[in-house]
């Protein structure tokens, strides 16, 4: 078995592909996806719109964030 190099380009490439597949699958199933991009907490909805959000500590799941603003396609 080959040694796993988590700092190598191949590992990075495979991790990015896995993220892309999981993100696409969730969106295709109507589930919004939350992630951090360029220091912005982002929510992407299945219709393609993206929003900057702020998480609310201690709030119940499903209402633990607030939308700050909609992001343009170039901002996200």
68: Cα separation from own chain's centroid: 16
Instruction: From residue 68, give the alpha-carbon distance in Å to each of 6, 40, 41, 65, 76.
Output: 35, 11, 10, 9, 14
* Domain assignment present for 21: no
Whether the pLDDT of residue 13 is over 60: the answer is yes
* Domain assignment present for 1: no
* Domain assignment present for 52: yes
Residue 65: domain span:
32-76
* Domain assignment present for 46: yes
Averaged pLDDT, 48-61: 94
* Domain assignment present for 43: yes
pLDDT for residue 3: 80
pTM over 0.85: no
* Domain assignment present for 22: no
Whether the pLDDT of residue 73 is over 90: the answer is no
* Domain assignment present for 15: no
């Amino acid at each position: 078995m080959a040694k796993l190099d988590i700092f190598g380009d191949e590992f990075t490439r495979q991790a990015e592909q896995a993220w892309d597949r999981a993100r696409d699958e969730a969106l295709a199933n109507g589930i919004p996806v939350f992630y951090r991009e360029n220091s912005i907490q982002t929510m992407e909805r299945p219709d393609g719109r993206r929003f900057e959000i702020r998480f609310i500590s201690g709030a119940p799941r499903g209402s633990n964030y607030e939308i700050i603003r909609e992001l343009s396609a170039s901002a996200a």
